[in-house]
Amino acid sequence: MDIYLTPRCNLACSKCYASDYVRYTERLSTSEFRLLLGELREARVFCVVFLGGEPLTASDFFAISRHSIDIGMYTSLSTNGILLTKRNVDRMKNIGIERVQVSMDGATRETVEYFKGAGTYEPTLDGIRRATARGLHVHVGYVLTSKNCGELEQFLDLIVSLGVQSCHFMSLMPFGKAKATFDYWELAPGAWKATIDRLAMLQRQYAGKIEIQFERKFEFEDKLLQVPRSKISELDLFTMSCEAGRYEATVMPNGDVVPCVFFADDSEWIGGNVRKQSFQEIWDNSKPFNYFRQISSGDIVGKCAKCKAAHLCRGGCRAIAYHMTGNFRGVDTRCPHDPKISPQMFRLDTA
């Protein structure tokens, strides 16, 4: 469960998808966030992630986080790392926060500061060092682009040396500041496939040193293509298709609830607001959430209709499809596959 505490941030990263969130001039109060957390607990939500902007710029971050932990929620945050000061890290440890995700999209000073801004490289590393030294599980998020996809081994060696326990390689999304430069930074389909194959190899190479996660959308082992949809586990489908509205929801700073954060700027896709409705009511009954759950591979227009893997990925990311084609039922434009070609093309190279 993602909760965006504040639109405020201490940086102005050049590809930040949250840069549009300055429009949120209203914000839930501390007591309203606490009430929301109680509702989520009753709804059997067991894990929350606090995001922003930069969540550590919120004056009530620690009060809200402590309440989340006190009522039994596994609580973590996503931060740019700059505000992981000794004082903040000590407070996190003392109230029971166990996991911190830090964004860092490169191995070198030049690459990191290209995206984050001048003077951010060492403070990011220092923040990571402080968190790992205090025994926090540090998870680093790395958005793959045409600029940084050649730094994978160097990056892994660096964060392993800092004591990082896990990392996640993600695709660039065409939102916020990244929208204007998406075509320039996005990995072409062939480069994406080569990068995923490289990460699969590195996952084995670095086993025991660090846990490596990466998006496997559109990359399927041949055997899965022969298995009927009814025989595939929900966990497998979770890793291969869009989880918005089925396993995930997002609460924005003003209390709006959406299946996916990338639909928060369109009122048509806002399921409701926790100031007016309970979270459970929004989750169970709102039109946007039910629409996300009901869409199937047969609803996707275009090449997916003839694709042998459509039942696995369900057409890919609905946010990419909607924002790039204007059609919620459109094709995820990142998909490199031609359904007329043999299923072998879907193979994830694990050799």
In this model, does residue 303 exceed pLDDT 90? Answer: no
Q: When comparing pLDDT for 326 and 129, which is higher?
A: 129
- Mean pLDDT confidence for 264-289: 96
| pLDDT for res 348 | 39
The span from the CA of 290 to the CA of 285, in Å, is 7
Sign, CA dihedral 88-92-98-99, equals negative
Q: When comparing pLDDT for 349 and 264, which is higher?
A: 264
The span from the CA of 301 to the CA of 314, in Å, is 11
Q: Is-contact 97 53, C-beta < 8 A?
A: no
- Indicate the pLDDT class of residue 298, thresholds 50, 70 and 90: confident
Strands 166-171 and 137-144: parallel
The span from the CA of 213 to the CA of 218, in Å, is 15
119 phi-psi bin (left φ>0, alpha ψ -120 to 50, beta other): left
In this model, does residue 276 exceed pLDDT 50? Answer: yes
Q: Where are the alpha helices (DSSP H) in 257-332?
A: 279-285, 287-294, 310-313, 318-325
Q: What is the mean pLDDT of the chain?
A: 89
- Mean pLDDT confidence for 328-351: 62
Q: Is-contact 127 102, C-beta < 8 A?
A: yes
Interval 16-75: pLDDT, tens: 888 777 788 899 999 999 999 999 999 999 999 999 999 999 999 999 999 999 999 999
| pLDDT for res 224 | 53
Strands 256-258 and 272-273: antiparallel
In this model, does residue 349 exceed pLDDT 60? Answer: no
